[in-house]
Structure 1
Amino acid sequence: MTIPHDMPRSLLLAVLVAFAAPQVASAAEPAKPDAAPKAADPSPASKPATTAPEPMAARIEAPLFSPLFAQTPVARIDDQVVRLAELQEALAATHDERKAGAATSPDFKAVLQRLIDSRLLIMEAREMGLDELPELKEQLAVFKDVTLRETLQQQLTKDVKPDALEVERVYKESVRRWKVRSLLFRQEEDAAAVKPALAGGKGFAELAKQLIAEKKAEGTGEPEVLPPDQTLPAVAAALKPLQKGEATTPLKLQNGFAVLYVEDIVYPSDPAKRAEAEKASVDRQSGQLLTAFRKELDRKYVKIDEALLRKIDFDAPKPGFAVLVKDKRPIVRIAGEAPITVGDLANAVGEKFFHGVEKPQQEKRVDKLKRPRLDGLIYKRVFTKEARVRKLDQSEEYLRAVEDQENSMVFGTFVQRVLVPDVSLKDEDLRAYYDGHRDEFTSAPLYRLEQVAFADMKGAQRAAERLARGTDFKWLKANAEGQLPPAQRALDFEGQLLSAKGLPEDLAGALGSAQVGDYRLHQGPRGQGYVVLVVSRTEPQVQPYAEARPDIQKKLFGQALNRAVTDWAAKLRAAHEIETFITRIGN
């Protein structure tokens, strides 16, 4: 039974896992049948014949993503096991990769097969001694220290909760929407007269009807809630400081001057935005907690030689940066740990300047870094030390993270040193792929468009009928009534070179047969109606082989490397004892 690709991880799926009970010693090898059956001994002293018992088996039903069963073995390779947690992670990763439209769900057997294959290659790499390479050990040591510090920080901040008042303030700021009435004026002085009229006691709705009737303004004057992701930056900035009952000063837009009146301010529900506000609150409080804890660790462990620190000048020509890099004088003593030396600090400062320190020294930019760089060195030392004092380096979570990282590094080293050198691609193979997959290297059409926008499709259809009777598009755009002002349009195609891939799917399909001068109707968000004119069209272009070659090479190389991994694993299977315990995933 396959897992639906839209399955939530929290769903408990039954995992049926069969375990072989410990076998008797004689069952280690299958018994060989005798050539002929032996006659039973009829004497009373003879003992009845006995046979080795069949291995017992237990069948366990376990929730797939339950931490209680994370360490349950699902496969065995010699004396090593593949844990259910590893299969969980691999299935989850495959599930995430397929969210974008895969038609089938991942087959757990194939995923488990890949886990076993990778483990076989890791075992082979260790046999070759690749895990003993100095560069790999150095990288792993860095990972261990970083993971220890992160584990300590997580332990310190695990109980931090969002501040309710802070969350509410940040959340409301992020979801705030303005319910506005808007008008578009051709003359700035007409737009500027709106605020004095409102101050004199006139209502905006009444004023809007009057100005539209007098042909001084365009628009419906009807209220609309503006979504922030579809609001022009200048409009959003003008609305931000306003309260209910206030209007903007005239805003210069492409087609005139807009005035927006805030009828109300609303705060729609947005769980994602609330989650972001909660995370920001937790992050801020966690930062404060860690800063205070760092000060406590400094008092507990650290003693800085301030006199020596002031004396050192990394910008000074003497004794010179190269000399300071080798300086073994302790500049910071940490209880129970090796000191931080002048040389350690010099190396940390020098890492900032990839092209050397000579020019930065002349510009007096090197010595400025000694305090922040020293602070970073102290942070790493004291947090790593405290994590070990708390024995976090002995925790199951930490040890598993280190094991997983080491396996990943060993696997990557095996691939790079053993498999990659044997993978080669011929130019004729690349050319054959290019010739057989021309669609992959053909661009979408490019358009320049103009539009006339209305509040609904009825207005757009009436405009299209007038165009069909011969009305000029530009004249229509300049004179048609009921058009949406720019601030209220959900879509704006003008002034841009647009790929068909970036257009709404139904519009791109409608434009597929359109030539320059043709127009198409389109229904946009919130029921808005658009008449879209094709001003220019660039036909699809085929990418030349020389340009496409690097992408083809990368793709085919990846496929060849995957085959090499599979082939190597197939050879190794014969040399190892492999057993799988999981039988199926399903309800």
Structure 2
Amino acid sequence: MTIPPVTSRSLLVAVLAFTAPRMIFAAEPSKPSGPGATAQPAKAAEPAAAAKPAPMTARIEAPLFSPLFARMPIARIDDQVVPLADLQEALASTHGERSAGAATAPDFKVVLQRIIDSRLLIMEAREMGLDELPELKEQLAVFKDVTLRETLQQQVTKDVKPDALEVERVYKESVRRWKVRSLLFQKEEDAAAVKPALAGGKSFVELAKQLVAEKKADGSGEPEVLPPDQILPAVAAALQPLHKGEVTAPLKLQNGFAILYVEDLVYPDDPAKRAEAEAASIDRQGGQILIAFRKELDRKYVKIDEALLRKIDFDAPKPGFAVLVKDKRPIARIAGEAPITVSDLANAVGEKFFHGVEKPQQEKRVDKLKRPRLDGLIYKRVFTKEARVRKLDQSEEYLRAVADQENSLVFGTFVQRVLVPDVSIKDADLRAYYDGHRDEFTAAPLYRLDQLAFPDMKGAQRAAERLARGTDFKWLKANAEGQLAPAQRALDFEGQLLSAKGLPEDLAGALASAQVGDYRMHQGPRGQGYVVLVVSRTDPQVQPYEEARKDIQKKLFGQALNRAVTDWAAKLRAAHDIETFITRIGN
């Protein structure tokens, strides 16, 4: 388990109190008090019953996520301790990140109670012998091998650093934005003439003004930065290879042919994208290191019987696949380990074909798998062997991972075998939940919309005023000046059947009262103004009970199972000696 280092920033502190015996001192003689009081001879001390030692507490303040205190006990169940590491991991998982700000004081007691409840159920499961079930042991053995190999891979690649040049290249490709000027043409030949005209020395700005004046093109010609996730796929594909000063070929769109001129390339700061680029660089380099490491292990440990491998034909009718599955001849020897046999390889190949090998043999699809499958078997053997040679199976990280997985398997088996059989949901409960939660089963309205799109709300306002005076929407869309070209729109509703849940929240609210033929104004991203027309509308539909029943049953079953876990844990708490030491979490 990786625990973040302690930083100098304000840290959440776990306060733990531990008890210890307090020293007992002999009582002093009574002293006279009051005016004129005289001392009296002390009487001989009479034997007294031995007082029960009172506990002494030690108060410790520790940074909550410090690895130095990971093993500090925070609770005890009989003779088992719950270390702070369990709470660290649970809080980090609950809040989605391992940081000082990931946990807050109010929730740690609930989380700790869940940890203790889980421990109690696991202890009960072990008392029942569930941890000795063969299927559980088999799952754990697989986990051990996989985790051991992964631990070795992590050790081999732990020093890999991102390549700065590679990161910069990948990062720029991912965040690149195009600052473009665009024009929309009705005739493809007019659009196609733009590129030769630019090659002749004209600037795009001058050419755009000329073409708009000649009524050959529409568009403001103003530059706009286009993010790739907010433009049509065809437009993004056309812009992808372009550099500053280049222009696209004519792009066929719904309303004509568009031309986009790249005025500049913009690379905004995006820490998340840079982190992705760094991770990709580490993954690529780590992959190369592992390939080289694998070759080194093969040279160190492996000897393949190439003659036997060539001789074996899993597609041949003789000796037959059933015979080869039992063939114990070694086909690859691993130093110090049992060899990989023809039988091992045949079984690995056969796993690919769930319905048998007869038909795949006829299609000559079986034998071609022998080398890839042998490679996989060798990988598992040599990585597992090298990990044990390095004693990684004795490392604290590995042992904790195995212990956690075993506890998880034991807990899951207890739930499935002991709790689930007693959980039942009546149909009346399902029906009652459905009747009491109709909102959950009511689909949002569906709309088919059309739109007028402008660079700002002033253009949308002017269009709405013309519509209010009786101008036809389609005519206005075909003739209104200043509309955004499709490639420039941040939102595009045309021709799509849209759920109200998928619309911007304020637009969905505005459309709630709109009927077919009504329009609403909407301000979109980057200040763009839209007039949105309702072409068709489907009112909210309630999902029938028969369709919703399965989802309701799943939800209520989960709730009932959680209650069963809580009830069992409560009974077990009464039967065990439980003590908690952590008292609070705070800054």
The interval holding the TM-score normalised by the smaller chain is over 0.9
Structure 1 residue 59, shift from structure 2 partner: 0.8
User: Is 1:359 aligned with 2:359?
Assistant: yes
In 2, Cα distance between the equivalents of 1:529 and 1:309? 70
Bigger CA drift: 324-333 or 423-432? Answer: 324-333
Residue 201 (structure 2) aligns with: 201
Provide the secondary structure at the position in 1 that maps to 2:465.
helix
Which runs of structure 2 are paired with 1:78-97 in the superposition (5 Å)? Answer: 78-96=78-96
Which runs of structure 2 are paired with 1:36-435 in the superposition (5 Å)? Answer: 51-96=51-96, 107-435=107-435
Bigger CA drift: 570-579 or 50-59? Answer: 50-59
In 2, Cα distance between the equivalents of 1:64 and 1:468? 64
Q: Residue 545 and residue 164 in structure 1: after superposition, are their counterparts in 2 closer, same or farther (change >3 A)? A: same
User: Is 1:574 aligned with 2:555?
Assistant: no
Which runs of structure 2 are paired with 1:426-465 in the superposition (5 Å)? Answer: 426-465=426-465
In 2, Cα distance between the equivalents of 1:191 and 1:441? 50
Structure 1 residue 92, shift from structure 2 partner: 2.3
Provide the secondary structure at the position in 2 that maps to 1:543.
coil
Provide the secondary structure at the position in 1 that maps to 2:309.
helix
Structure 1 residue 19, shift from structure 2 partner: 1.5
Q: Residue 82 and residue 580 in structure 1: after superposition, are their counterparts in 2 closer, same or farther (change >3 A)? A: same
Deviations 1:145-184 (A, max 9, x none): 1111111111111110011111111111222221111100
Give 2:575's aligned amino acid. A
In 1, Cα distance between the equivalents of 2:176 and 2:48? 88
Contact 2:105 2:584 in 1 (8 A): no
Provide the secondary structure at the position in 2 that maps to 1:514.
coil
Deviations 1:475-512 (A, max 9, x none): 11011000000000000011111000000000000000
In 1, Cα distance between the equivalents of 2:482 and 2:254? 18
Q: How well do the aligned residues superpose, as a CA RMSD in angstroms?
A: 2.0
In 2, Cα distance between the equivalents of 1:166 and 1:378? 33
Moved segments of 4+, more than 3 Å: 41-44, 46-53
Deviations 1:253-300 (A, max 9, x none): 110001111111222211111111111111111111111111111111
Give 1:82's aligned amino acid. V
User: Is 1:21 aligned with 2:20?
Assistant: yes
| Unmatched 5+ stretches in structure 2 | 1-6, 24-41, 98-103
In 1, Cα distance between the equivalents of 2:96 and 2:506? 28
Bigger CA drift: 115-124 or 209-218? Answer: 209-218
Residue 505 (structure 1) aligns with: 505
User: Is 1:540 aligned with 2:540?
Assistant: yes
Structure 1 residue 43, shift from structure 2 partner: 5.6
Bigger CA drift: 475-484 or 231-240? Answer: 231-240
Contact 2:523 2:529 in 1 (8 A): yes
Provide the secondary structure at the position in 1 that maps to 2:316.
coil
Contact 2:21 2:53 in 1 (8 A): no
| Unmatched 5+ stretches in structure 1 | 1-7, 25-40, 98-103
Bigger CA drift: 410-419 or 330-339? Answer: 330-339
Contact 1:467 1:473 in 2 (8 A): yes
Contact 2:252 2:258 in 1 (8 A): yes
Residue 29 (structure 1) aligns with: none
Structure 1 residue 572, shift from structure 2 partner: 0.9
Structure 1 residue 423, shift from structure 2 partner: 0.5
Provide the secondary structure at the position in 2 that maps to 1:58.
strand
In 2, Cα distance between the equivalents of 1:299 and 1:214? 75
Residue 36 (structure 1) aligns with: none
Deviations 1:426-463 (A, max 9, x none): 11111111111111000000000000000000000100
User: Is 1:554 aligned with 2:554?
Assistant: yes
Provide the secondary structure at the position in 2 that maps to 1:521.
strand
Deviations 1:180-235 (A, max 9, x none): 11100011111111112111111110111111111111111011111110121211
Bigger CA drift: 49-58 or 355-364? Answer: 49-58
In 2, Cα distance between the equivalents of 1:56 and 1:321? 74
Give 1:437's aligned amino acid. H
Structure 1 residue 353, shift from structure 2 partner: 1.1
- What percent identity do the matched residue pairs reach? 87
Provide the secondary structure at the position in 1 that maps to 2:495.
coil
In 2, Cα distance between the equivalents of 1:326 and 1:165? 53
Q: Residue 79 and residue 20 in structure 1: after superposition, are their counterparts in 2 closer, same or farther (change >3 A)? A: same
In 1, Cα distance between the equivalents of 2:513 and 2:569? 52
In 1, Cα distance between the equivalents of 2:373 and 2:487? 49
Structure 1 residue 95, shift from structure 2 partner: 2.2
In 2, Cα distance between the equivalents of 1:96 and 1:469? 55
Provide the secondary structure at the position in 1 that maps to 2:260.
strand
Provide the secondary structure at the position in 2 that maps to 1:551.
helix
Bigger CA drift: 169-178 or 115-124? Answer: 169-178
Structure 1 residue 54, shift from structure 2 partner: 2.2
Provide the secondary structure at the position in 2 that maps to 1:574.
helix
Structure 1 residue 56, shift from structure 2 partner: 2.1
Residue 27 (structure 1) aligns with: none
Structure 1 residue 23, shift from structure 2 partner: 8.4
The total of aligned residue pairs comes to 558
In 2, Cα distance between the equivalents of 1:521 and 1:243? 37
Residue 100 (structure 2) aligns with: none
Provide the secondary structure at the position in 1 that maps to 2:259.
strand
Residue 564 (structure 1) aligns with: 564
